[in-house]
Chains A and B, each alone.
Chain A
Amino acid sequence: DTGVSQDPRHKITKRGQNVTFRCDPISEHNRLYWYRQTLGQGPEFLTYFQNEAQLEKSRLLSDRFSAERPKGSFSTLEIQRTEQGDSAMYLCASSSTGSGNQPQHFGDGTRLSIL
């Protein structure tokens, strides 16, 4: 169990640029979540995948945001035409679908700073 891995750890970009983040979940986990965390706040849900299917998207996820999980393994989160308000920590989590409510395991996050 190598844990959830996110890349890059930090991203600094100019407003208007596109950025893409990657998440590698724990290998046997088929559930994958993206969250966004701003300073002094708890994480907020963005989107959820079960295997390769994106089954839920938050209203926080504007049209500039898109997420994929093409083979049901790693996932990418892309933000187009970044804005100042996109500056945040983007967290990925994964879990299995065993019996009961399986806990989510989080990566260390990607911190996005928009200049």
Chain B
Amino acid sequence: GNSVTQMEGPVTLSEEAFLTINCTYTATGYPSLFWYVQYPGEGLQLLLKATKADDKGSNKGFEATYRKETTSFHLEKGSVQVSDSAVYFCALSEGATNKLIFGTGTLLAVQP
């Protein structure tokens, strides 16, 4: 079945460092891909999405490109802030219902 694999956390960075969180997927067909973010005590918020190969999703300085050839959707940000500290989930949509298949999440801790 379809699945998403994310790099293990936690990822600890200093403020203004470059961020990469790796995400690869296994899927039949061509799913849409998403990054969601979960701040402490809150629900998941959509960060960005891409619906087809070579699409780049971007929001709040974060970017991810849908790479069909490597089945990847890595999340990047050029300069992280303390306020970016959260858990990041990579996900794909599956089937006619568009239900989401999530990775296990990556905890990002940014230190001042």
Contacts and interface: CB of A to CB of B under 8 A. Distances in A.
A103 B46 contact: yes
Contacts of B91: 42
B93 A42 contact: no
Contact of B42 (A4, A102, A108): A108
Interface of A: 4, 31, 33, 35, 40-45, 48, 50, 55-56, 91, 93, 95, 100-109
Contacts of A101: 32, 49, 51, 93, 98
B102 interface: yes
B43 A48 contact: no
The binding surface of chain B is classed by DSSP as: strand
Contacts of A103: 34, 46, 49
B111 to A, nearest CB: 22
A56 B46 contact: no
Max chain A Cβ within 10 angstroms of own Cβ: one of B49, B102, B103, B104: B102
Given A100-B51, A106-B44, A48 B99 contact: yes
